[in-house]
Amino acid sequence: MVNIVMVGAGGIARKHGSSLMRISGTNIVGVVDSNRERAEILASRVGASVYENLEDCTVEADVVYILTPPSTHRELALKAIRTGKHVVCEKPISISLADAEVMVQAAKEADVKLMIAFNNRFRKGFKRLREMTKAGTLGKLVNIWSQRIGRAIPQGYNWRTDPQLLCGMSIESLSHDIDLIRWIAGEIVDVRANIVVSNPDLQGFDDNAHVVLTLSNGGTAVIHASWSSHLDMNTRGVIGTLGTAVVEGPGLWDGKHFRWKTCEMEHEHIEVIDDSYAVSNSYEMENRHFIDCIANDLPPAITGADGLAALKVSHAILDSHHKKEVIRL
């Protein structure tokens, strides 16, 4: 039995909690959150006890899930790691590169597993896109892109717009796009970017990004993201020398169709995948993967080093914007 403590009881914690309850051999023993009422609601759903602090329940845990704002990740991760606990940490790994480096090094020295929860790697459409790219079906990669636009500025109180906690879209949300590009297309060698803060009352909350990345294989990646668009849509795709494939759908996250065409095909093929974020089983797949890594002493597919690599690109995006120059990694 793998005993789990969840730190953070917000929306993402509910997704992890419900998926973990479907995995045999797991037991959520504790929930920690600064909001006692929120912690009690989640704890009642997953059959766990509520604790005031992580230190109060690490002895009961094999794994600690860190599901809190990024600025809190280092402190919580080190508390777990230094007591020999494996860690699943929501993305991004942290806000500062120094904090991320400390987390990665601490996990290495303690010989515990640290997985960064880049959930897109477990989504149906994106897995298909990677498989087709890696198999060479599309030929040599020329361009990979990630476009997602929508109205996503939180209304009312949200940590994303709290001056004490915010980190902006380029660090928090673009970590998804950056990791997806690295996973499918390989390493990123330089960055040029322009970001826009559309709401003057939310300085520091960048909500539009336009990014061009050079890949180590000579190809190019493009990220176009907006949280202030009045229309919603998303596409992620690959253009290769032999073909093109794309995942597309409504909203910021849902995959509706997988389309592809190669030089050997007379017509494009369109497959309905209905990979809705709301009903996707990707969180269950993600958590099954980590539990299997613990049971069989395997390295997780997404490591702390992957989280650090993505964060370096996020910082390069911000540096490129502010310095108005290409940033080499």
Going from the N-terminus, what domains does the chain have, and what CATH number goes with each? Answer: 2-119+283-303 (3.40.50.720), 120-278+310-328 (3.30.360.10)
Q: Which residue has the tokens 């032999």?
A: 242
Sequence-separated (6 or more) residues with CB below 8 Å from residue 25: 1, 2, 291, 295
Q: What is the CA radius of gyration of the chain?
A: 20
pTM: 0.96
Structure tokens at 241: 């020398």
- pLDDT at res. 240: 98
- pLDDT > 90 in the chain, percent: 91
Residues 2-26, mean pLDDT to the nearest whole number: 97
Q: Rounded CA gap, 17 and 43, in Å?
A: 9
Q: Rounded CA gap, 159 and 263, in Å?
A: 48
- pLDDT at res. 161: 85
Sequence-separated (6 or more) residues with CB below 8 Å from residue 166: 159, 160, 202, 204, 205
The answer to whether 52 and 41 are in contact (CB under 8 A) is no
pLDDT at 154 over 90: no
pLDDT at 102 over 80: yes
Residue 314 CA, distance from chain mean position = 13
The β-bridge relationship of strands 255-262 and 269-275 is antiparallel
> Model confidence at 158, in pLDDT bands (50, 70, 90)?
confident
pLDDT at 163 over 90: no
Q: Rounded CA gap, 94 and 68, in Å?
A: 10
- In this structure, of 88-92, 158-162, 173-177, the range with the lowest mean pLDDT score is 158-162
Phi-psi region for residue 222, left (φ > 0), alpha (ψ -120 to 50) or beta? beta
Q: Rounded CA gap, 147 and 221, in Å?
A: 11
**DSSP code string of 33-51:** -SSHHHHHHHHHHHT-EEE
> Model confidence at 27, in pLDDT bands (50, 70, 90)?
very high
Q: Rounded CA gap, 44 and 33, in Å?
A: 14
Residues 204-233, mean pLDDT to the nearest whole number: 96
Q: Rounded CA gap, 253 and 113, in Å?
A: 28
**Residue range 283-292, pLDDT digits in tens:** 999 999 999 9
Higher pLDDT, 290 or 157: 290
